[in-house]
Amino acid sequence: MISDLQSLIDPLTKAEFLTLLRERKLIFLPGSGSRRFETLLNWGALNHLLDGATFSLEHLRVLRESTEIPANLYVKQGRLVFATLSNLLDHGVSLIFNQLDKHVPALRVLCKDIARDTSEQITAGAIVTSGRGGALKRHYDPEDLIILQIAGTKRWQVFGPAVNNPVQGVTVERPPQGPPVFDHMLQPGDFLFLPAGQWHQCENGSNRSLHVGIFFEPPSGRDMMTMLASQLLSDERYRRPLTRHSSPEALAAHEAALKASLIDAVKAMSLASFVTERAASPRVDSVHLEGSTDRAHEAQA
């Protein structure tokens, strides 16, 4: 039964995995065809969840190679039509289920345990693919990602060099065109740690494939500055229109006051306190998972 980070990464030690995470190094652990990840999710549990459809449909994406399938083909009167969705999947369409840990207790427990060990925001999602090709064109993710192959097979190709320390909204870069640095057909029970920024694309095997992704979103300096900007809004001086001063001297005085206040606020900042406070705060729903609709760096293979 997998319920914590150590049971998930075995035979690695927790220290070994955290080093890989810190250094962002890819690692593949074969599962020898085992079914051990089915304690987290299996076809029966996923189909039951989809058939009931009590969750927000915003968590779902249905697509083929990054092209969205219109929701009116599988949603009627605001409800998911499971039989129609299943038929689409039989004809080569893929399904991405984001924020799955909100609805699957075993994944929720696991994500919370990993969050305690890393002080990062941890979420889980699942991807179902069938037919040729995969859900997405060659792309990279700003989150570090653990892939758990549950059922079926899927060929993963990873290309270098990676994008260094990617975050949402970074400038789009062209994908590398050389041969893959990793090329392997994942089998049930296989474990792949894919660092953030690694270009990759997938190709489905002969049968329907199911894998779970565990996503790591560490805080960055940009997150800290975003928090600071939000805090500064409580100061009326930062809300004052810059174009409404009566003279250049008044504008210059306003500038000096803002700069002095900003310098004081930056000096008072603590990275350690920010990381601790962020880890203790509730997870925000804006966490981006693989296949997020506003991801600008998906690219044509």
Phi-psi region of 210 (alpha: psi -120 to 50; beta: other; left: phi over 0): beta
Q: Is residue 166 part of a domain?
A: yes
CB atoms within 10 A of CB 26: 16
Give the count of domains, the chain: 2
**210 and 225 fall within a common domain:** no
Domain that holds residue 52: 5-218
**160 and 258 fall within a common domain:** no
Q: Is residue 70 part of a domain?
A: yes
Which of 192, 218, 244 is at the close of a domain? 218
**203 and 240 fall within a common domain:** no
Q: Give the domain CATH number at 35.
A: 2.60.120.650
Q: Is residue 293 part of a domain?
A: no
**127 and 210 fall within a common domain:** yes
Q: Is residue 275 part of a domain?
A: no
Which of 203, 218, 233 is at the close of a domain? 218
Q: Is residue 296 part of a domain?
A: no
**173 and 260 fall within a common domain:** no
pLDDT of residue 207: 83
Q: Is residue 300 part of a domain?
A: no
Q: State the Cα–Cα distance between residues 32 and 29, nearest whole angstrom.
A: 9
**88 and 145 fall within a common domain:** yes
Token pair in block for residue 183:
């090329």
**84 and 120 fall within a common domain:** yes
**186 and 93 fall within a common domain:** yes
Which of 189, 218, 247 is at the close of a domain? 218
**71 and 28 fall within a common domain:** yes
Judge residue 190's burial from the number of C-beta atoms within 10 Å of its C-beta, 0-12 exposed, 13-18 middle, 19 or more buried: buried
What's the helix, strand, coil split of the chain in %, to 5? 35, 20, 45
**96 and 239 fall within a common domain:** no
**257 and 163 fall within a common domain:** no
Q: Is residue 284 part of a domain?
A: no
pTM: 0.88
Q: Is residue 238 part of a domain?
A: yes
pLDDT, one tens digit for every residue, the chain (301 residues): 899 999 999 999 999 999 999 999 999 999 977 899 999 999 999 999 999 877 788 889 998 777 889 998 999 988 899 999 999 988 888 999 999 999 999 999 999 999 999 999 999 999 998 876 666 788 899 999 999 999 999 999 999 999 999 988 777 678 888 999 999 999 999 999 999 999 999 988 778 899 999 999 999 999 999 999 999 999 999 999 999 999 999 999 999 999 999 999 999 999 999 999 888 887 655 444 454 434 434 433 3
Q: Which residues are bridge partners to 154 per DSSP?
A: 186, 204
**236 and 104 fall within a common domain:** no
